[in-house]
Amino acid sequence: MDDLLSEFLTETNESLDVVDVELVKFEQEPNNEKILDNIFRLVHTIKGTCGFLGLPRLEALAHAAETLMGKFRDGAPVTEEAVSLILISIDRIKEILADLETAGGAEPEGSDDDLISQLERLSLSARTGAEAEAEAEADAGPDVTTGELVEQVLERPLRPGEVSLDDLERAFREAECEVELPVEAPAGEPAAEAQDDAPPPLTVKAGAARKATTEAKGLEKAEKENKSGSSVSSQSIRVAVETLEHLMTMVSELVLTRNQLLEIVRRHEDSEFKVPLQRLSNVTAELQEGVMKTRMQPIGNAWQKLPRIVRDLSQELDKPIELEMVGAETELDRQVLELIKDPLTHMIRNSADHGLEMPSDRRAVGKPEKGTITLSAYHEGGHIIIEVKDDGRGIDVERVKSKVLERGLASEAELEKMTDQQIHKFIFHAGFSTATNVTSVSGRGVGMDVVRNNVELIGGSIDLRSTAGQGSSFIIKIPLTLAIVSALIVEAGGDRYAIPQLSVVELVRVQNNSEHRIERIKDTPVLRLRNKLLPLVHMSYLLGADDTDVNSELESDTGFIVVMQVGNQTFGVVVDGVFHTEEIVVKPMSSMLRNLTMFSGNTILGDGAVIMIIDPNGVASAMASHASSVVAEGERKEVEEAIAAAIDGQSSVSMLLFRAGSSEPKAVPLSLVTRLEEFEVSKIEHSNGRDLVQYRGALMPLVYIDPAQTRRSEGTQPMLVFSDAGRSMGLVVDEIVDIVEDRMNIEVGSDRAGILGSAVIKEKATEVIDLGYYLPQAFEDWFMRKEMDIAALTKKVLLVDDSAFFRNMLTPVLKAAGYDVTACQSAQQAFELLENGDTFHAIVSDIEMPDINGFEFCEALRRDPRFRKVPVLALSAVVSPASIERGRQAGFDDYVAKFDRPGLIASLKDMFSGELGIAA
């Protein structure tokens, strides 16, 4: 029964899609009896099957819809309302079917009385309409109509009986199989027994298998009968998609093996295998084509829902819209088809909503009131071109411009230089929507960028042409299939890579003395190609090879440039060698490698080697980020000013104010103080020349800020307790004054040990103490534990933290552990340093920073091939599994709590030992 049900579901869903389309057509030509008959028949079949399968809810609904359509057939006028209602009913049926599928055959609870009663009401009023008409004609018509209605109403309780005629027959057939079984099974058994040492389990198995096949045969027969009964074409058979996918995989393997054989024969000139292999090669090619064909579906399948969508849109927006579809029979790969469906729907919606004007506006400019959207598809050199065209207002360049400025995507001066076409392309930017009003149809800011992403995901590209006042058209170019692609095999850095031909525009050979040579604009390689400058990047550079290697390779200035085009971006990728093109079978990478955006998959070449397939989109985005870093260099001045501003405008810090020794207030950031304590002076003990107190079961050394500080002789002694890794130190103070929230701008530096400098806090000059000076007084090795590492001495570490205090705090910690530390206060400044060519062996970055936070900083680093390999460590006050996970995704190598100094040192040490391992 399950098979039957799933068969029913697929068939019904298909029928319903047809009904959708037909109904829209029918609404336009209500007199076309053929269309109506077709709809009527389909709905009737659905109703019948539902009755047989025991799905009363569906049956009732389908029946009510059928009744209404029966009225149309009898000449009742077709109203928009009625068609809408039927369409709604069809939607409801689809919903129920979807639930049915998920629930595995159980009809969902619920009632459709609302729809049924409306359908019946319309049926009745339609009848009266027909009656009135008939009466006017004074014909026998009314009787017939009324008679039919009664019949229809009466039919409902009776129908199970009616349907079961068909089904009885089917039931008979099924019963037949079961009767056959006992006969067949014994027949199988003796045969098996006849073999002397056939073990008994085998007999059972053989019997069972036979039973299964018999059953399957029976079902198949029944299905076939059923199909021919409902006049579905018997010219085609249904094959599970899985089977086709498997077939495709096998053919892919065959292609690979053939390539291998060809490779072998290529090496043996006079091989006798040559001729049969040629034949095998041809057969394989034909087989490949054949199997590909089974996966091919007319693009019309993806268009099926569009007429209905356009009709609904037309009503919703109050614009008459006509949808023209050309080339629906153009075939393309199933997989591609699935992926193109949603973008297409989106574009149609866009055209209807933004593209077409309101009827009144159209009339004003002398266009027909009804707007036209044309959807066409055709083949062009291994690609499918799909065009969505409307005859609306076209893209409003001025509005796009103002939006671009508003969003800060480009400056006014830049826009001035752009052609209209370049400006149009801004609509593909993320979050760009020209609709001033957010309608239910579009204008939610998820628009063309999503479409473009989807299209590019399948290796396609999208283009746009628009003429103001005459309409716009979107042109999508997508590959025929994704499974087997033609690729150019290139070499870079000693490894071979495959570049999909689709994105390769041309190959240019460069030599020092030839017409084409690599030129440089401040270290950025470019190529003069037909009076245009083509930005270049070396493949090994993209793949993270060392800078020095790449430069020497580029300096030699010989090699090949693969000119690639991705979307509207054209660039050249310099490779060391170009081999040949090969049909490659794209195999997905393992999940461990899927995070690499530079590759789209891998494949096995004819010679048996595995090579990585370059993802043109990944290269393009790497190019873009590379380009932006070059731009950043040009804007250095601005950045420098910004940094200066950032220094002035530091965020405020909680400071603890206290007095010790002198009367001037002193300050320390509150976040570092573990707790404030007061001890009885009598509790302070003296041992080994220093003051100690017993604190939480251990001896805590006391440190005086000023050696000349007066020791109290009675009462209590306030102190600040600093704890770290189980050790505590008490900093003796005279008086705790206040806790204030203020900016810590150290205005006057200090030469005195233990004082960072003076800052104005609460309008008073305050000394900010340097904790890094006092902590080692309590424990000499506070910062230098066993982590001290000779190897670390040569390592340069960049510390990025917006808080001056933490910079001052951590710099000595890292220095004490032997690292050469450079501190900077923002990600911008860090980029500055990196761009200046300062190299660092590791970067330690705070997460919570203004402007560019640590995650963004790290992601930016990871996007840049130059810094991709630099270990980056996150330092954060917030350490939760979620934030750690976020850190990992951003590309951080480790995530350490801000106060976990030993953790920081251990993590750095770990990174470097790991890195040494790589280098070795």
Binding site for other proteins (CB under 8 A): 253, 256-257, 493, 495, 543-545, 587, 589-593, 595-596, 598-599, 602-604, 608-612, 868, 885, 888-889, 893, 910, 913-914, 917-918, 920
Residue 32 and residue 26 in contact, taking contact as beta carbons nearer than 8 Å: yes
Token pair, residue 432, equals 């760009």
Q: Which CB, 410 or 896, lies closer to other proteins?
A: 896
Closest approach of other proteins to the CB of residue 917, in Å: 6
Beta bridge partners of 876: 897
Q: Which CB, 464 or 554, lies closer to other proteins?
A: 554
DSSP annotation of 425: G
Residue 349 and residue 319 in contact, taking contact as beta carbons nearer than 8 Å: no
Under DSSP, is residue 598 helix (H, G, I), strand (E, B) or coil?
A: coil
Q: Which residues are within 8 A (CB) of 419 and not within 5 positions of it... i.e. 6 or more apart?
A: none
Measured distance CA(845)–CA(805) in Å, rounded: 14
Closest approach of other proteins to the CB of residue 860, in Å: 16
Q: Which CB, 833 or 884, lies closer to other proteins?
A: 884
Beta bridge partners of 372: 322
Closest approach of other proteins to the CB of residue 108, in Å: 34
Phi-psi region of 80 (alpha: psi -120 to 50; beta: other; left: phi over 0): alpha
Q: Which CB, 589 or 740, lies closer to other proteins?
A: 589
Helix, strand counts (H, E) of the chain: 27, 35
Closest approach of other proteins to the CB of residue 171, in Å: 42
DSSP annotation of 871: -
Q: Which CB, 654 or 889, lies closer to other proteins?
A: 889
Q: What is the DSSP string of 645-711?
A: HHHHTPPEEEEEEEE-SSSS-EEEEGGG--EEEEEEGGG-EEETTEEEEEETTEEEEEEESSTTPPP
Q: Which CB, 82 or 842, lies closer to other proteins?
A: 842
Closest approach of other proteins to the CB of residue 493, in Å: 8
Measured distance CA(379)–CA(615) in Å, rounded: 24
Q: Which CB, 26 or 599, lies closer to other proteins?
A: 599
Measured distance CA(751)–CA(758) in Å, rounded: 11
Beta bridge partners of 385: 378, 477
Q: Which CB, 812 or 871, lies closer to other proteins?
A: 871
Closest approach of other proteins to the CB of residue 615, in Å: 12
Crossing angle (nearest 10°) for helices 827-835 and 616-634: 90
- Residue 834 sits at φ, ψ, to 5 deg, of -65, -40
**Could you give the count of Cα atoms lying within 13 Å of 125 in the half-sphere of its Cβ?**
10
Q: Which CB, 165 or 592, lies closer to other proteins?
A: 592
Closest approach of other proteins to the CB of residue 871, in Å: 8
Element (H, E) at 823: strand 820-824
Q: Which CB, 543 or 852, lies closer to other proteins?
A: 543
Closest approach of other proteins to the CB of residue 333, in Å: 22
Closest approach of other proteins to the CB of residue 500, in Å: 18
Phi-psi region of 503 (alpha: psi -120 to 50; beta: other; left: phi over 0): alpha
**CA of residue 135 relative to chain centroid, distance:** 64
Closest approach of other proteins to the CB of residue 918, in Å: 6
Q: Which CB, 543 or 759, lies closer to other proteins?
A: 543
Closest approach of other proteins to the CB of residue 495, in Å: 6
Closest approach of other proteins to the CB of residue 603, in Å: 8
Q: Which CB, 223 or 910, lies closer to other proteins?
A: 910
- Closest C-alpha to 608, from 135, 132, 257, 244: 257
Closest approach of other proteins to the CB of residue 920, in Å: 5
Query: CA torsion sign, 702 to 705 to 711 to 716?
Result: negative
Closest approach of other proteins to the CB of residue 543, in Å: 4
Q: Which CB, 442 or 907, lies closer to other proteins?
A: 907
Closest approach of other proteins to the CB of residue 266, in Å: 19
**Integer distance in angstroms from the first to the last C-alpha of the chain?**
65
Q: Which CB, 237 or 920, lies closer to other proteins?
A: 920
Q: Which CB, 249 or 671, lies closer to other proteins?
A: 249
Crossing angle (nearest 10°) for helices 306-317 and 334-350: 10
Residue 840 and residue 797 in contact, taking contact as beta carbons nearer than 8 Å: yes
Closest approach of other proteins to the CB of residue 574, in Å: 16
Distances (CA, A) of 495 to 266, 444, 508: 22, 46, 20
For 558, other C-beta atoms within 10 Å of its C-beta total 17
Measured distance CA(399)–CA(466) in Å, rounded: 14
Q: Which residues are within 8 A (CB) of 806 and not within 5 positions of it... i.e. 6 or more apart?
A: 846, 898
Residue 695 and residue 730 in contact, taking contact as beta carbons nearer than 8 Å: yes
Closest approach of other proteins to the CB of residue 170, in Å: 39
Q: Which CB, 302 or 543, lies closer to other proteins?
A: 543
Q: Which residue has the tokens 């076309």?
A: 32
Closest approach of other proteins to the CB of residue 736, in Å: 40
Q: Which CB, 129 or 618, lies closer to other proteins?
A: 618
Token pair, residue 203, equals 């007999």
Phi-psi region of 696 (alpha: psi -120 to 50; beta: other; left: phi over 0): left
Query: CA torsion sign, 201 to 207 to 210 to 211?
Result: negative
Q: What is the DSSP string of 551-570?
A: HHHHHH--EEEEEEEETTEE
Q: Which CB, 547 or 664, lies closer to other proteins?
A: 547
